[in-house]
Amino acid sequence: MKKRFNVLGIGNAMVDILIKSTEEYLSKNDIKKGVMQLVNLKRSQALYSNFGSETEVPGGSGANTIYGLATLGISTSYIGKVKDDFLGNQFRSDLLNANIHYATQLSSKKTTAETGRCVVFITPDGERSMNTYLGVTEHLSEDDIHTDNIRQSEWIYLEGYRFDGRDSELAFAKAIRIAKAHSCKIALTLSDPFCVQRHIKAFKRIIHNDVDLLFCNEAELKLLYGTSNLEDAIRTGSKDVQILVCTIAERGAVISNKENIISVPTKKVTVLDTTGAGDLFAAGFLNGIIKKKSIKICGHMGNLAASEIISHLGARPRTNLKDLFEDNITP
């Protein structure tokens, strides 16, 4: 039976605030370069109050992936919590305008917390340093996970950033139970070394027991399996999942599918902003999986989508990804 959605994403629903910064500003304001830090609303507001201009764009790692898939003609749905406020409605409209199914109930205007936002400082080398105020997105609960949506999906895509707090752990567990009961495959992205450190035992359990496809980068995978050797980490991870995809920055990606381990190099591009690189890699790769391409072609699609994103500011594609794939990939 054909399902309604190819991919349903579950993650942190938030708006990204992108700011061009300097190394000096990061140092003076105790901002850790290249990783994600959780901050409260007051700290979030203070971090960008000194800047006269910033770019506000709907974001959230999982939502970026789902948006990328939608631009490729993949049928998508998304679950993530925002408030009925300006940023929340901006986020919701962005998804609906991209023909993404989004039916998560908005948190009331009376709610004290606000829609989540991620203040992203981008240094001249293109590296991003993320300061995340979760707001109402951390209130995602089992009540927001509906059987019908997951039952009608071929894949669910779980964002590691959202795996924080008891409510979200229960929400993920419910989504996984429903998925497994309805022949829906499960993909997980580790998201950030910060997330791996906080949830290493839970991540290992889920990966071993439930995950079909794991997305990660080199630092996350090494940390997960407690080794400084990438090859060892890949061999260990390959025993847990059907497909393991590890991105290695400008070197492309290493992919394992039980039968083979292959490297898929990427072309060098000028890096302006690395925000969303992993998110769009996942979109490109999943697009290939849905269309039953080889893992090598899937890897090329992921690399091309990531390269497009890092060539400009923001985590949503500005180039038609379908055309990009057709022009650069030989079937």
pLDDT, tens digit, 9 for 90 and up, residues 11-34:
999 998 888 889 998 998 889 898
Phi-psi region of 228 (alpha: psi -120 to 50; beta: other; left: phi over 0): alpha
Encode pLDDT of 61-75 as tens digits. 999 999 999 999 999
Q: Indicate the pairing of strand 5-10 with strand 76-79.
A: parallel
Instruction: Calculate ∠ Cα 119-317-267, nearest 5°.
Output: 105
d(CA 215, CA 278): 8
Q: Indicate the pairing of strand 153-159 with strand 5-10.
A: parallel
All domains in the chain, ordered by first residue: 5-11+60-92+138-328 (3.40.1190.20)
What lies within 8 Å, CB to CB, of 137 at 6+ separation is 12, 13, 14, 60, 80, 81, 82, 115, 116, 162
**Would you say residue 186 has pLDDT above 70?**
yes
What amino acid is encoded at 176 in this protein? I
**Would you say residue 48 has pLDDT above 80?**
no
User: Could you tell me which residues are beta bridge partners of residue 145?
Assistant: none
Neighbours of 197 (CB within 10 A): 11
Output DSSP code: residue 104. Answer: P
Encode pLDDT of 122-140 as tens digits. 899 888 898 999 999 989 9
pLDDT at 52: 60
Tokens describing residue 258: 């039980």
- Mean pLDDT for 210-219 is 97
d(CA 266, CA 263): 10
- H/E element, 7: strand 5-10
pLDDT at 1: 72
pLDDT at 267: 86
Within the chain, how many helices (H) and strands (E) appear? 12, 14
- H/E element, 99: none
Tokens describing residue 297: 């072609």
